Amino acid sequence: MADDRITTKLAALPRDATYFSLEFFPPKTSQGFSNLHARLARMAHSLRPLFVNVTWGAGGSTSAKSLALAELTQRSLGLTTCLHLTCTNMSRKLIDEALEQAKVLGVRNILALRGDPPRSDEYRAEGAAVGEDEDDSNVEFTWAVDLVKYIKKTYGDYFCVGVAGYPEGHADTSHPEHQGVGLDLPYLVEKTSAGADFIMTQLFYDVDAFLAYETTLREHDSGIFKEIPIIPGLMPVQSYQILRRTTKLSHAKIPPNVLKRFEAVKSDDEAVKRVGVDVLSEFVDKIKARPDVRPRGFHFYTLNLEKAVAHILERSSLIPPYTPTIIEKNGFTSPEDAITENESSTSAPTNGHATRTRRESSTANSGPRNRVVVSRTRASSTSSTRTSAFEAPEDEAGVPRDKINSRANTLAISEGEGALGREATWDDFPNGRWGDARSPAYGEIDGYGVSLHVSIAEATRLWGHPSSTADLSEIFRRHLEGAVDAVPWSEEGLSPETLTIKPQLLALVQKGWWTVASQPAVNGVRSTDPIFGWGPRNGFVFQKPFVEFFLPAQDWKRLQPILDEDPQITYFASNAAGDSAASDEESVNPVTWGCFTGKEIVTPTIIEGVSFRAWCEEAFGIWGEWRGVYGKGSPSSKVLDQVQPEALWETLVKA
């Protein structure tokens, strides 16, 4: 068996070589997983990453799905896989199970992470004293270095272990003023001394900050970073909103000159993607231009999307050259590419070769139009240059003119070119958890799983210590009024379009119905509108109104009959136990769509049963995360513990 450790693969590269890796998270739905399989197969063929990363949800929340995705990448697709693994706020047994399962799957690489700050009170068995619960991972693991030491002690050099680096410092307390490279260095020294084999950085948009960080590490007095691979993490920009959200959550700074380029086109999603490709390609070129002691690597956080990263990789010349795979066919050993080339030849076959060639070739035709089948005699004697493009000789019908499975064609598909490209990148306008549940990118944009995305200190600063349902209503009211920056289900303040329906949302909160997401009706507004616009210029956008909220179960009993009487309302509702109701379980509701010049109708936001169920589990899980901020038995913990099972989560759509 080949040694699949990342360090071994890097050692085999020339010193001046470049390479890249891609990161994926486990999709929330089975449809998304199936579509990610197809996307991964295409990207593996056309892009050829040195390895891929599979994320792990906070507290092991995505453990089963993460391991399933690792099995797909490592076993089914033959991609060298690096599995992320956190070690806090989870079952102690799960850490061992994950490592053993990774070994069974053939995964030889682990990115060792801490996860959220330890909260042992929440995970300790009932009645157990501090340190007595053997299945509390926090007893043994407090920092990522503890996980690095454990892996090395238990498995020796079987696993290649990576750790995280922070070019701008790690803001654990959600206060950017408390972050700095100098504060993090002692921890990184400790992790590296414990046996870390490579460093992979958090995303950044300040390339000079990364270069300074790399210099600091290489010149560190300890000398421990002199030879270790330092892989910069880059996130292709999918939209202006996602850019601002990810940089806010990670506290990554955007230099004014870079931000200005995005601000200039922020209302045009396609233009934002193009600028993002330009910016990250420039980052890659600048980093490549600086000599290093190791081959230059780049790690891309794909968000399970392919178009933008494919453009960046091609423009930056990071895609490795093709080495034909030697296969045996018809008793002969030949390069696979040569066979494909021969089979797709358009020259006239002779000596009965036509039958074999037609049988072996794919019957799929990647051309943009159908062709008329004509005899070869007619094709050569009567067809003009103008009409021959629309004709196919009878002995070529069904045989693609080009190798449709060639790397060049597959790359073009990943970049969204042609009919096949449009089909492959149909979800290129991601809307996070409000998108299409069939998309691999559906769900949280970082795949981190159920999390508040803030520290305990920041959570108490934002939401205080609620001790009654009235206190909870006040938090939601203050969020609508702009006095609170976030609620547990939304890390951002209200958008300009949501402010247009603020009075209606405040009326719901006054009833004790806590709104989490909503949008107003929009009928044919120009895509450049400063409040409602999105997508390319020269288009029109449309929205159905919807609202998502929690309400008491007794209120739902009175509301449901009223909703059932209105044929224009679609609803989905569920409680924490999974008991659900719907006006039509099979209904599919596009609630945002746009019409643009020269394009098919784009529908980035769809509400349906499968997406509601996928989000419902997370929506109730966040109650538990919020409860974990406070000590067991505290008034805040009690009120949150009481509200969760009594609340009902509902989505209403008005036709």
Tokens of 423: 């089909």
- Rounded Cα gap, residues 646 and 628, in angstroms: 18
Residue-wise over 391-424: b if at least 16 C-beta within 10 A, else e? ebbebbeebbeebbbbbebbbbbbbbeeebbeeb
- Rounded Cα gap, residues 501 and 520, in angstroms: 7
Q: How remote is the C-alpha of 556 from its chain's centroid?
A: 34
Please check whether residue 654 is in contact with residue 545, taking contact to mean a CB–CB distance below 8 angstroms: yes
Terminal Cα-to-Cα distance of the chain (whole angstroms): 58
Sign of the alpha-carbon dihedral angle for 103, 107, 108, 113? negative
Extended beta strands in 7-46, E state? 18-24
Which of 23, 314, 415, 548 is the catalytic position?
A: 23
Residue 23: active-site member: yes
What count of other Cβ atoms lies within 10 Å of the Cβ of residue 19? Answer: 21
- Rounded Cα gap, residues 523 and 526, in angstroms: 9
Find the angle CA(67)-CA(72)-CA(74) to the nearest 5 degrees.
90
Q: At CB < 8 A and 24+ separation, what contacts does 407-413 make?
A: 407/45, 407/46, 407/48, 407/322, 409/366, 410/42, 410/45, 410/46, 411/46, 411/47, 411/310, 411/314, 411/319, 413/42, 413/46
- Rounded Cα gap, residues 114 and 298, in angstroms: 23
What count of other Cβ atoms lies within 10 Å of the Cβ of residue 500? Answer: 16
Extended beta strands in 487-627, E state? 514-519, 522-526, 539-543, 546-552, 569-575, 580-582, 588-596, 602-608
3-state secondary structure of 365: coil
Q: Are strands 580-582 and 569-575 parallel, antiparallel or unpaired?
A: antiparallel
- Alpha-carbon torsion, ordered 245, 249, 250, 253, to 10 deg: 50
Q: How remote is the C-alpha of 191 from its chain's centroid?
A: 27
- Rounded Cα gap, residues 103 and 101, in angstroms: 5
- Rounded Cα gap, residues 572 and 585, in angstroms: 8
Q: At CB < 8 A and 24+ separation, what contacts does 644-648 make?
A: 644/576, 644/620, 645/575, 645/576, 645/577, 646/552, 646/553, 647/550, 647/551, 647/552, 647/553, 647/575, 647/576, 647/623, 648/550, 648/551, 648/552, 648/553, 648/555, 648/556, 648/573, 648/574, 648/575
Please check whether residue 318 is in contact with residue 284, taking contact to mean a CB–CB distance below 8 angstroms: yes
Tokens of 246: 């990810």
DSSP-assigned letters across all residues of 596-612 = ETTSPPEEEEEEEHHHH
User: What's phi and psi for 310, nearest 5 deg?
Assistant: -65, -40
CA distances from 304 to 174, 280, 440 (A): 26, 17, 6
Q: Give me the active site residues, please.
A: 23
